[in-house]
Amino acid sequence: MKGLIKLFDSNETNFKHNKNVLSEFTSAYITEDIDGTLEFDGEYPLFDEKKLSKELNIGKTIKSPIYDNRHDQLFKIRKPNFSTSNKSVSVYAQAIGYADLGSNIVLGCHIPAGTTRKKAIEMLLNARQQKIRDYHVGNLDTSTNTNINLGLDESTGEVINYLDIDYKSPLKGLLDESENSIYKAYRGELIWDNFEINMVNKRGSDNKFTIRSGKNLQDLEKEISDMDDDFATALIMCSSDGLYLPNNEIIYSSLANKYDRYHYKVIKCDDVSLEDLITENSTDEDVEKAKQVVYEQLRERAQNYFNEGMAELLGSYTINFLELAKSEEYKDYSQLTNCSIGNEVTTIYPELDLKVTTRVTKIKYNVLKDEIEEITVGNIKKDIADSINNTENKVDNVADKVNNNKNDLKKTKVTMEKYNNSIVLKVENLSKDTMAKIEVLEKEIV
């Protein structure tokens, strides 16, 4: 063990002393995943020599070494289980920031347009109702992105480019996937470091490595599922006002034939609308042109969904490093355990016909032995519905697009003239005073 496990009172502010050292843990593990969970689990003797087991109560703070270069981490005890039959205390604790922010409340926090993710987190922390501890934002987030796109305001038709976090815990305001949150608005991966909080675009170092099975490596679990709600290989696209692609057109992924059947999904695009492109004075020709614009937008968005990985089955692989150490290829495997959440890993396992490069999504660290025992690797899938409408580098202002399309329709004149031996199709831009034409003759087009 590279450091001591210590116990502190719930209201402690000085975590540097060694008053209560928990030296009798029989097991102690830290588990962290890429979704923002950081937990401590341990077993402590009920009848310990120091008589500290009775102090392992809800709200107390455990300080423990961790697997990477962060300082020893603080965990708040959430669930102690005292067992006389096993003569032990099972302790479950969460990262102190996770626990504190989860039990606090934000009554109202308005994050205006033009705010960076780092500043947004700072505003959220300042808006929490109870400020017992000094939670603050670190300097790991270097993103300058200020674009937020949370869909369209139904009353104005404008992009919602701001964020309101009201009547929810700061933790939900930070990480909630289903409602307004900083994660939903900006995306990112969270790093807990005691009272410092960072959200970055992508966790992980440059320490890439390959794991190849040997004759003694058996402990690898592979889990793949096609039950994800966001998994589809064939998309039926629809605008916000109910316009589907013509002739029941279905957009298929290039991976569609990889599976035994097609997986269909109807997608309604809230940011695509025919009504926004036409007026009461629009001619039938104008309406048809507007439809073509909508069709193009729907096809583009379908391709974006597939580019985001909608048609890819996500695999999850759990690798036990203790078994890995026994294999001939990895007698010296210390470099493999020097990994972090988000690192890239190439796993080669011929018995499962498996060769895949993924990222470390979960780490299980043995505190007492000071070694990573188990990692889970897998693909990180963005929330499809949000990532299409919320890109980091570009937010399309739908109102501007609407106006531009309306103006283009008004400024464009299309005519078809029939002559004895030909037909001439002309397209004129009235504002720019330009014209292009196609002449169709009996045996050629000029």
Task: Give yes or no: residues 22 and 169 share one domain.
Answer: no
What values do phi and psi take at 215, rounded to 5?
A: -65, -20
Task: Give yes or no: residues 115 and 191 share one domain.
Answer: yes
Task: Give yes or no: residues 428 and 322 share one domain.
Answer: no
Residue 416 in any domain: the answer is yes
pLDDT of amino acid 382: 39
Burial class (CB in 10 A: 0-12, 13-18, 19+), 156: exposed
Give the residue from 167, 200, 233 where a domain finishes. 200
Task: Give yes or no: residues 52 and 117 share one domain.
Answer: no
Residue 248 in any domain: the answer is no
C-beta of residue 118 within 8 angstroms of C-beta of residue 138: no
Residue 417's domain comprises 411-440
pLDDT of amino acid 258: 81
Task: Give yes or no: residues 54 and 70 share one domain.
Answer: yes
Q: Which among 251, 102, 107, 246 is positioned nearest to 176, based on CA atoms? A: 102
Each residue's pLDDT tens digit, 238-273: 999 999 999 999 999 988 888 888 999 999 998 899
Task: Give yes or no: residues 174 and 319 share one domain.
Answer: no
Residue 298 in any domain: the answer is no
C-beta of residue 184 within 8 angstroms of C-beta of residue 386: yes
The SS3 assignment for 57 reads coil
The SS3 assignment for 338 reads coil
Residue 194 in any domain: the answer is yes
Task: Give yes or no: residues 196 and 215 share one domain.
Answer: no
Residue 293 in any domain: the answer is no
Task: Give yes or no: residues 194 and 116 share one domain.
Answer: yes
pLDDT of amino acid 439: 55
C-beta of residue 341 within 8 angstroms of C-beta of residue 69: no
How many whole angstroms separate alpha carbon 63 and alpha carbon 81? 19
Each residue's pLDDT tens digit, 42-76: 999 999 999 999 999 999 999 999 999 999 999 99
CB atoms within 10 A of CB 326: 16
Confidence of residue 394 (pLDDT cuts 50, 70, 90): very low
Give the residue from 46, 70, 100 where a domain finishes. 100
Task: Give yes or no: residues 171 and 136 share one domain.
Answer: yes
- CATH code of residue 364: 2.30.300.10
Each residue's pLDDT tens digit, 195-225: 999 999 999 876 676 766 553 334 455 555 5
Task: Give yes or no: residues 217 and 336 share one domain.
Answer: yes
Asked if the model's pLDDT at residue 375 lies above 80, the reply is yes
How many whole angstroms separate alpha carbon 142 and alpha carbon 112? 19
Give the residue from 77, 100, 123 where a domain finishes. 100
Mean residue pLDDT of the chain comes to 81
pLDDT of amino acid 390: 37
Number of domains the chain is built from: 4
What values do phi and psi take at 164, rounded to 5?
A: -115, 120
* Beta bridge partners of residue 193, listed in sequence order: 196
Residue 302 in any domain: the answer is no
How many whole angstroms separate alpha carbon 360 and alpha carbon 113? 33
Query: How open is the CA angle 407-411-412, to the nearest 5 degrees?
Result: 120
Q: Tokens at residue 22, please?
A: 């928990």
Tokens 């674009």 locate to 147
Stronger pLDDT, 210 or 408, i.e. the higher one: 210
Task: Give yes or no: residues 14 and 85 share one domain.
Answer: yes
Query: How open is the CA angle 300-304-308, to the nearest 5 degrees?
Result: 175
Mean per-residue pLDDT for 112-134? 96
Residue 280 in any domain: the answer is no
Mean per-residue pLDDT for 368-381? 79
> pTM, whole model, 2 decimals?
0.67
CA atoms within 13 A on the CB side of 113: 8
Q: Give first-to-last CA distance, the chain, whole Å.
A: 82
Task: Give yes or no: residues 152 and 24 share one domain.
Answer: no
C-beta of residue 25 within 8 angstroms of C-beta of residue 78: no
How many whole angstroms separate alpha carbon 408 and alpha carbon 291? 14
Is the torsion defined by CA of 230, 232, 237, 241 positive or negative?
A: negative
Residue 171 in any domain: the answer is yes
pLDDT of amino acid 72: 97
